Amino acid sequence: MTDYTFKSITEQAKAIENNQLSPVTLLEEFFQNIRNQHHSKTIYTEVFYKTALEEAKNSEKRQKSGLRKSLLDGVPINWKDLFDIKGKACEGGSLLLAGRIAKRDADVVVQAQNSGLVSLGKTHLSELAFSGLGVNPKTATPPNSSDDRIAPGGSSSGAAVATAFNLSSAGIGSDTGGSIRIPAAWNNLVGFKPNHGNISLNGVLKLCPSFDTAGPITRTVQDSHYLFQILKGEKPVDLPKCNLQGKIFLVDKSFLTKDLSPEVERSFEMYLEKIEKAGGKITTIKLLEIAKATSLASILFTYEAYDSWKELIEKNPGKMHNPILSRFRGGIDIEKKTYISSWVKLMTLREKFLHNIEGYDSVLAPTCPILPPIVNHLLDSEDYFTTCNLLSLRNTRIANLLGLTSITIPTEIKHCGLMLLAKPQNELNILRTAKLLEDLI
């Protein structure tokens, strides 16, 4: 009997559609994987054994009657624990929210239900989603799926690790500065950040409302496309085919490719060679707006993050891991006029950046300049934690700052993702291109 927990959503969905696989059987196989995985409790905050089984049984009834809600009807997914699911705990990876029970379903949860997806459970994350490392000593730190000594990436750590360990078909995470793409890269998965505002965040715990997005962490680009469509409330269909020949890519030499770890640099150069051999063209350029936008990050992100959570934080600051608390408190002395003037500068930079990338398919860059650091070293030194956290987010947060669409795909070297950055409202094209690049490996 085929074990479909190791397969992509695409393969699972088509097996269900062709009556080769039962949604109940698939779910029970995932349950068994979860029970056999000794790290499960540091990956999942809760597994919905009862309600997920009910959803799978209903999906199986629709399968037998030929009334499936969508191609993905019966596929089990996990949710980062900042998406509200009615009657379930939603604690945002923070002791400050311990015992919080959701009163309604988030809009994206409703969209998933409307398409017949099975909600398998909730997964751990960084405290209030404000770290790219995925290390959370206050609740739980999921292990990296390759080596439990190293960081899993965050903030959607559990969503990625559960997917990589075959404990769910995919994960739904959030991305404010890289929180989908970093854990995807460090666990050798695909992570897709849609354009800000294109997926509803009603019923999702906020961090930085001007930058927050939701999106999927999956095995393949096609899987991410399916889930993106469902989260938007659309019918999932296959990605249209396109050709790599004639596509022109940009590589920034001013910021995104500086100071890379040797493995990351080698991975990136290998991928560029494959692209050129396959008929793609590479142009190098210095995109100076990137560094200028980055200089505004400590004002814009920190102001919004502290504004979102300051009342709760200052009631019980001792419940937070100190490096995360310090990062939030960086917003205390930022005046609103400084925040507003920084936004004016950022909007000008966005306009200039989009002008400079006009006519190119996308910008290519390493997803992270560093490899996952060792967890114990991060916990031993606050300075090291802070340094690694900012490095982990260095490249990914450019997409959020400049209002771009972005995706990371695995490379031939573990933990080294290839990131694509493209202009806003360009999801279909970047997914099509990422699928082409994925096929090169």
Could you give the residue numbers annotated as active site? 80, 155, 179
Going by C-beta distance under 8 Å and a sequence separation of 6 or more, which residues neighbour residue 273?
none
- Give me the sheet containing 248-252, strands edge to edge: 44-47, 118-123, 76-80, 170-174, 214-218, 190-193, 405-409, 418-422, 362-366, 248-252, 281-285
| Dist CA 420 CA 406 (whole Å) | 5
| Dist CA 431 CA 426 (whole Å) | 9
Side-chain half-sphere CA neighbours of 243 within 13 A = 3
- Helix 382-393 to helix 322-329 angle (10° resolution) is 60
Q: Where are the alpha helices (DSSP H) in 258-396?
A: 262-277, 289-294, 297-315, 322-329, 336-356, 375-380, 382-393
Task: Name residue, tokens 């849609």.
Answer: 194
Q: How many CB atoms lie within 10 A of CB 157?
A: 37
Q: Where are the alpha helices (DSSP H) in 165-201?
A: 181-186
Q: Is 262 helix (H, G, I), strand (E, B) or coil?
A: helix
| Dist CA 346 CA 350 (whole Å) | 6
| Dist CA 139 CA 50 (whole Å) | 24
Q: What is the DSSP string of 30-66?
A: HHHHHHH-TTHHHHEEEE-HHHHHHHHHHHHHHHHHT
| Dist CA 105 CA 122 (whole Å) | 13
Going by C-beta distance under 8 Å and a sequence separation of 6 or more, which residues neighbour residue 177?
132, 208, 211, 297, 301, 393, 396, 397, 400
| Dist CA 50 CA 57 (whole Å) | 11
| Dist CA 378 CA 392 (whole Å) | 13
Going by C-beta distance under 8 Å and a sequence separation of 6 or more, which residues neighbour residue 408?
181, 184, 185, 190, 191, 367, 396, 417, 418, 419, 420
| Dist CA 407 CA 351 (whole Å) | 21
